[in-house]
Amino acid sequence: MSNGSQLTFKEREHLEFLLNEGKSLSVIALELNRDPRGIKYEIIHHRELFVRKNQRNKCGIQITCKKKRLCNHCDSGLCKHCGHIHCDTFCSDFCETPNCKTINRFPCVCNGCKQIKDCPLPKFYYKAQNAHIEYKNNITEHKKGPQLNGMELKELDKIVSDGVKNGLSIEVIIQTNHLDIATSTIYRYIDENLLSVKNIDLKRKVRYKARITNKPKAVPIEYDYLKDRTYNDFTQYFLDNPSANIWQMDTVEGRKGGSAVLTLLFIKTNLQLYFKIPNIERAEILNVFIAIRKHLGNDLFKETFQCILTDNGKEYKDPLSIEIDSETGEVLTKVFYCEPRRSDQKGKCEKNHEHFREMIPKGKSMDGYGQKTIDHVSNQVNNYPRKSLNYHSPLESSLQLLNKKVFELNNLQTLSPEQITLKHLVK
């Protein structure tokens, strides 16, 4: 059997051919002289989701779907026969990935499936060329940045930051904490902005004159925040945890560079929480989650925010700060990321912003609004009845699903229809 080396391009081509022929896992492993577990891992991690452009129903569970008349486009009443092309925007059970025996077990892709012509579900395919390109890109990204992983880098950052605040030099910090790392390496991490400590915080370094060198200016490097957090990882998580509490996260900006609002949408009911932030920066996002955890407590936070899906904005590129309690090290939630320029992958969140914009139009400064005003907007939006919820409001639909302390985050209260007015705010 072959050693642990990666598959070559020719081996991937042969794998694709064998999958198209419908060969079993044992036969493929024997043909390629590889461990069957490695073959299955290769297929699952490099398969691609394919949906026809003209396909009306894109849901992966449409065959077993029993829902009726979620919209007025259904001729027969059954949503599985619906001609609406955006069912994912109002169906809480919408699933992007196909749910069938072929996908849930080997071969885990639709290559070689005999029912493929008659199957209405989205398809997973393994393509050798694309798989090899993705593998090469992963190697390139893996070689960038520090050798420490994200968690180790954050632990080092805390130790160095605490030491510098206490007036210790880098050498003393390494010695007193028994760190197995060179002094020059920590200085390099600081130069590359990988630690929160800056050169100006160091005792003597800012007094030194910079050496003249032709070395190009270092570019800040992020840790591999996308590892195990891609949209494909999210869909697999959703398949493994179909009843999980999933939230979509985004920011609504006022005037460029000014105050903004962090939004969190509960996809089961479209309940959306709003939090005023002075600017769109990572530190402000973290402050919101610290406040939420403080209000709910770790146990309730972990139960409520099991999974968060967001985009690739710079303010979200430190998922560990959101996922982990910095004091205990406990993992409280899981953050996943949409593909670049695919805001439709968190379409519920984007759609719900339309109601927010009815009260605070796009481009209008939010600097003059406090959290109390934002809570008022949240109350109006979350009490507004939705056709997709059979004309119940997101708040009403959430009362039996979420703890009352979650509603306290925005001081949400049930309003009568006469009290709801989605109109521009007047300062």
Length of the chain: 427
d(C-alpha 53, C-alpha 43), whole Å? 24
pLDDT of residue 19: 93
pLDDT of residue 89: 65
Share of the chain above pLDDT 90, in %: 42
Model confidence at 209: pLDDT above 60: no
Give the closest residue to 270 by CA, choosing from 376, 375, 371, 396: 396
C-alpha torsion angle, residues 208, 209, 212, 213 (rounded to 10): 30
Cα 307 to Cα 73, 223, 335, distances in angstroms:
32, 21, 6
Tokens of 366: 């939010």
pLDDT in tens, 101-138: 888 889 999 999 988 888 888 899 999 999 998 888 77
With beta carbons less than 8 A apart as the criterion, state whether 352 and 346 touch. Answer: no
Does the predicted TM-score (pTM) go above 0.95? no
Grade residue 220 by pLDDT with cuts at 50, 70 and 90. very low
Preceding omega of 319 cis (within 30 degrees of 0): no
pLDDT of residue 207: 47
Cα 403 to Cα 11, 175, 300, distances in angstroms:
52, 48, 8
pLDDT of residue 376: 94
pLDDT of residue 192: 81
Alpha helices in 255-340 (DSSP H): 282-296, 298-304, 319-323
Grade residue 218 by pLDDT with cuts at 50, 70 and 90. very low
Average pLDDT over residues 171-188: 82
Helix axes 128-142, 9-20, angle to 10 degrees: 140
* 423: number of Cβ within 10 Å: 8
With beta carbons less than 8 A apart as the criterion, state whether 32 and 14 touch. Answer: yes
pLDDT in tens, 315-338: 998 899 899 988 888 899 999 999
Phi, psi of 208 (to 5 degrees): -80, 140
Average pLDDT over residues 278-298: 93
Grade residue 144 by pLDDT with cuts at 50, 70 and 90. low
Grade residue 50 by pLDDT with cuts at 50, 70 and 90. confident
Calculate the average pLDDT of the chain: 85
Model confidence at 179: pLDDT above 90: no
Grade residue 219 by pLDDT with cuts at 50, 70 and 90. very low
